[in-house]
Homo-oligomer: A and B are copies of this chain.
Amino acid sequence: MSATDSQESKCDVLIIGAGPAGMMLATWMARCGINARIVDKRGTKIYAGQADGLQLRSLEIFDSFGFADRAWKEANHLIEFCMWNPGEDGLIRRSDRVPDVPVGLSRFKEIVLHQGRIERFFLDHIKKHTKNSLQVERGVLPEALHIDENLVNNHSSDNYPITVQLRYLSEEEAKPAQSKGSVVNDGLFRSNLAEDDTEDLIANSKKNQSGTETVKAKYVVGCDGAHSWTRKQLGFELEGEPTDHIWGVLDIIPITDFPDVRMRCAIHSASAGSMMIIPRENKMARLYIQLTEIKPDASGRADRSKITPETIITAAQKIIAPYKLTYEYCDWWTAYQIGQRVGKNFERDSRVFLAGDAVHTHSPKAGQGMNVSMQDAYNLGWKLGLVVKGVAQPSILKTYQSERRRIAQDLIAFDHKFSRLFSGRPAKDLMDEEGVSMSEFKEAFLKGNLFATGLSVDYGTSMLVGKAGNAAEQGDGTDVSSKVQLVGKQELASKTPLGMRFPNYQVLNQASARAYDFQPKLASDGRFRIIVFAGNVVNPPQSARVQAFCKYMTSSALLAPHLDKNIEVLTLHSSKRIDVELLKDFPEVLHPFDARTGWDYDKVYVDDEAYHEGFGDAYGGYGVDRETGCVVVARPDQYAGFIDGVDEEGAKGVEGYFEGILVG
C-alpha cells in the first residue's frame, strides 16, 4: 500500500514480532487454520548470529511438525562438555568431561544452528500448511493498542475486542542501526546494552507520513522481545535486576591450538575471567567472553563504544592463554550485560498475551532464550487455535500464564545461579570463600542440564491436566482449577507422568511392520490424542474391554462428533504382531474406513520386536501393564492430560476430562 493510505481490517489473531516465539505461534495458526497475521518492525529477516542452540524438547516439537530432520542435518551437534580450570600453576587445564546432555532422555541431542535457518524451516512449514500462505509482514510497526473491556468476555465469533493501529515503515526506517566502522554485522542494536528504538521509529515514521492500518482482532500476542512494545501498552513490568557482568560474543572460525575447540567448553581462567565455547556449523564457533575490564557506569549500563571485536578477542586471548587464539573470519558479534527478569503478568483478560523475551530475559549461555520462547508460543498456540475455532472453552487460556510463568520463574532461578558460578573467579583453594568452587560449578551444570533440555517441564493440575494437588501452587498462582477436579489414574501408566510430555519409544505399525518413533505420531495438528494402550488383545476378556471402551466412546454425544476431527485415536497393543490382524481384531473406530482410500493403516501400532531395530519395550517405557493396558489422553502439545482404564468406566473418565475442555 502507498505511504499515506489508511485502512481497516479484521483478523482473529494478530502476532506482533516474528522472532522464534512469533514464528512458532504463526505455525500453530497455520496448522489450526486460523485467520492470523504476523507483523515485525524489522525490514529484513534475521541477521547473522543471534540465538542458535536447540534443546531436546525444541527438537521434539520440531519433529511433531515434521521438520526436525532439517535442523538435525544442518546443525552442529554438541556431544561433550569440557570444563577447563586453573591448575596449581595458575594455568588452565581440562578438569572434567561430561556428556553435553544427560544420556537416555531423548532421541535428540543439543544442536546449534543459525537462527535464520530455523526461521526458514518455520516459513516453509507455514507455507505448506496455509492456502493463502500466512506471510510475515515486515517493516510494520504497531503504534496503538486498545482493549474494549466491555467486550473481552463476549466470545461470540463476530466480536473483536482489540484494536491495534499499525504503521508501515520505509525500507530505510526498518533497518536496524549497525555499529559505526564495523565491517561485520553486529547484534548490538538488539542487545540489552542498547536502548529500544521503537519510539524513535514511530516518531520518525509519523514525520514521514507513512501509511497506517487499523486492525480489529480477537486476540493479540506480543512476541516483540525484551523491549516489548506490547508489554508496555499493557503496563506490565519485568521483575529483576541487572548484574555488573558484561560479556562479549564472537561468531568466528577460530584458529587455535586449544584442543577442545570442537567441544562445548566452560573455561574459568585464574584471574582474566571466563569464557564459553559453542562449536557451530561451517567450522565456526561461538565464543561467550567475559569482559572483566568493562564495567557499567553510574546509569547501570556499560559504554557500548568500548566494545569491539578487537577488545573481545583480546579478552578471550587472556582467558585461553597459554593456548593461542585468533581468527580471519568473523561472522557476527555482540555484547550483553547479564541480568534476570521475569514478567509479573503474561496476559490480560485472556485476550492479549506476551511470550518469549517479552516476559523473561536472562543470559544466553545456557542456550535457553530461543527455546523457552518457542515453547511459550507452543503452549499458547493450540489453545488459542481451539478457542478461536469454537472447539475449546475460553477458560483454558488461563493455563498459559499458569504453566509458562512458572517455567520462566524456574528458568530465571537457574540462570541466576549458573551465571554467578560462571562469571565468578575460581576459588584458589578450599579456604578461598569469595572464589567459586569448581566442584559446585560442575554440580550446578549437571543439575541445570536436565532443566535446560526442556524435558523436566511438569505442568500443574488444571482443566487440561487431570492430576491431584492445588492448581495455584503447582502453577504461578493463577487459578486454573476445573469445576470438578478430575484425577487420572497415574498408576496405569506409571512412567508417563500427568503434566509432562508424552515420552518416546519405538513401536511397529501393525499393518506394515515398520518401526517408528511413537511420539511424533502425536503430530502438532491441533488435535488431542486418545492413546489406547489396548494391552494383550488376543486375550478375549481384554479384547472385550477394548470393545466396550470403543463402544462407549463412539456413542458419547460429547466425544463422537470430535473423533478424528479434533481428537485422534491411536492404538498401541502388546500382543505379538503376527498373532493379530488389523481388520479382524480391532474395532473400526481404531482404523476408520474411507470410501476412496479404504482402511486407515496408520493408527494401530504394536510393541513388538522389529526385524532390524530390536525391541522398543514401549509398554515398559510408558509404565503400562502388558495384559490390561490403559488409556492416555495427550493434549495437542503432547503433554499427558488424563489416564484411565481401557474399559467402559475409562471411557466415561475420558469423557469427563473433555467435558472440562470442549464446548459442549
Task: Say which residue of B99, B254, B279 sits within 8 Å of A598 (CB atoms).
Answer: B254
- A sample of 4 more A-B contacts (CB under 8 A), given A104-B612, A254-B598, A283-B601, is A79-B514, A97-B578, A259-B581, A261-B601
User: Complex formed: what's the CA distance from A598 to B329 in Å?
Assistant: 10
Given contacts A253-B596, A328-B595, contact A259 B582 (CB under 8 A): yes
Task: Say which residue of B79, B254, B257 sits within 8 Å of A513 (CB atoms).
Answer: B79
* Interface presence of A286 (CB below 8 A): no
* Interface presence of A77 (CB below 8 A): yes
5 pairs from A and B in contact (CB 8 Å cutoff): A99-B611, A109-B612, A259-B581, A259-B582, A263-B513
Q: Which of A503-545 contact B (CB under 8 A)?
A: 509, 511-515
Residues of B within 8 A of A610 (CB): 79
User: Complex formed: what's the CA distance from A73 to B279 in Å?
Assistant: 28
The oligomer's copy count stands at 2
* Interface presence of A184 (CB below 8 A): no
Given contacts A73-B69, A328-B596, A612-B99, contact A601 B514 (CB under 8 A): no
> 8 tightest CB-CB pairs across the interface, nearest first?
A255-B598, A262-B512, A262-B511, A79-B513, A99-B611, A80-B513, A328-B596, A259-B581
- Contact pattern, A 585-619, Cβ under 8 Å of B = 1, otherwise 0: 00000000001111001000000001110000000
* Interface presence of A103 (CB below 8 A): yes
Residues of B within 8 A of A328 (CB): 595-597
CB pair B509 A80 closer than 8 Å: no
Residues of B within 8 A of A109 (CB): 612
- Contact pattern, A 603-642, Cβ under 8 Å of B = 1, otherwise 0: 0000000111000000000000000000000000000000
- Contact pattern, A 260-287, Cβ under 8 Å of B = 1, otherwise 0: 0111000000000000000100010000
CB pair A79 B611 closer than 8 Å: yes
* Interface presence of A560 (CB below 8 A): no
* Interface presence of A583 (CB below 8 A): yes
* Interface presence of A131 (CB below 8 A): no
Task: Say which residue of B513, B583, B611 sits within 8 Å of A103 (CB atoms).
Answer: B611
CB distance from A613 to the nearest CB of B (A): 10
Task: Say which residue of B79, B104, B262, B509 sits within 8 Å of A601 (CB atoms).
Answer: B262
CB pair A596 B279 closer than 8 Å: no
User: Complex formed: what's the CA distance from A109 to B595 in Å?
Assistant: 32
* Interface presence of A256 (CB below 8 A): yes
Residues of B within 8 A of A262 (CB): 509, 511-512, 601
User: Complex formed: what's the CA distance from A97 to B279 in Å?
Assistant: 48
Given contacts A79-B512, A511-B262, A612-B109, contact A253 B73 (CB under 8 A): no
- Contact pattern, A 58-90, Cβ under 8 Å of B = 1, otherwise 0: 000000000001000100110110000000000
CB distance from A331 to the nearest CB of B (A): 12
Residues of B within 8 A of A256 (CB): 598
Residues of B within 8 A of A77 (CB): 512, 514
Residues of B within 8 A of A232 (CB): none
CB distance from A311 to the nearest CB of B (A): 22
* Interface presence of A584 (CB below 8 A): yes
Residues of B within 8 A of A80 (CB): 512-513, 611
Q: Which of A456-515 contact B (CB under 8 A)?
A: 509, 511-515
Residue of B nearest to A109 (CB): B612
User: Complex formed: what's the CA distance from A510 to B209 in Å?
Assistant: 60
Most-contacted residue by chain B among A256, A262, A597, A598 (CB, 10 A): A598
CB distance from A577 to the nearest CB of B (A): 9
Given contacts A99-B611, A283-B597, A596-B328, contact A584 B259 (CB under 8 A): yes
User: Complex formed: what's the CA distance from A257 to B581 in Å?
Assistant: 11
